[in-house]
Amino acid sequence: MKGNIFYAQSGGVTPVINATAAGVIDAYQKNKDIFDKLYVGKNGILGALKEELIDISKESKSELKLLKQTPGGAFGSCRLKLNDFKKSKKDFERIYNVFKKHNIKYFLYNGGGDSQDTTNKISKFFKAKNFPITCIGLPKTIDNDLPITANCPGFGSVAKYIATSTLEASLDVKSMCQTSTKVFILEVMGRHAGWLAAAAGVIKTKAGDPPHIILFPEIAFDQKYFLNKVKEATKKYGYCVIVASEGIKDKKGNFLSDSGLKDSFGHSQLGGVAPVLSSIVSNKHNFKVHWAVSDYLQRAARHIASKVDVEQAYKLGLSSIAYAKKNKSDIMLTIKDESNKNNYKWSIGSTKLDNVANVEKMLPGNYIKASGIETTGACNRYISNLIKGENYPSYDNGYPRYANLKCKTIKKKLKSYKL
Q: How far is CA 328 from the centre of its chain?
A: 24
3-state secondary structure of 335: strand
Indicate which residue of 91, 114, 143, 309 is catalytic: 143
Residue 250 falls in the annotated catalytic set: no
Which residues in 15-112 belong to E strands, given as ranges?
A: 38-41, 53-55, 104-111
Same domain, 233 and 354: no
Q: Taking the CA atoms of 74, 302, 173 and 211 in sequence, report the sign of the dihedral they define.
A: positive
Same domain, 193 and 105: no
Same domain, 175 and 276: yes
3-state secondary structure of 372: coil
| 365 occurs within a structural domain | no
Same domain, 100 and 231: no
For residue 384, the tally of other CB atoms under 10 A from its CB is 15
Least confident range from 30-34, 97-101, 328-332, 340-344: namely 340-344
pLDDT at 153: 98
Same domain, 66 and 114: yes
Same domain, 293 and 332: no
Average pLDDT, the chain: 95
Cα 109 from Cα 120, distance rounded (Å): 10
- Domain with 295 in it: 155-301
Same domain, 293 and 312: no
Render pLDDT for 61-100 as a digit per residue (tens, 0 to 9): 999 999 999 999 999 999 988 877 666 789 999 999 999 9
What is the Cα gyration radius of the chain? 22
Say if residue 23's pLDDT is above 60. Answer: yes
Cα distances from 147 to residues 26, 39, 65, 185, 332, in angstroms, run 28, 29, 31, 29, 11
Instruction: State pTM to two decimals.
Output: 0.95
DSSP string, 172-206: HHHHHTTTS--EEEEEE--SS--HHHHHGGGG--S
pLDDT at 261: 47
Question: Number of folded domains in the chain?
Answer: 2
CATH number reported for the structural domain that contains residue 274 in this entry: 3.40.50.460
pLDDT at 259: 52
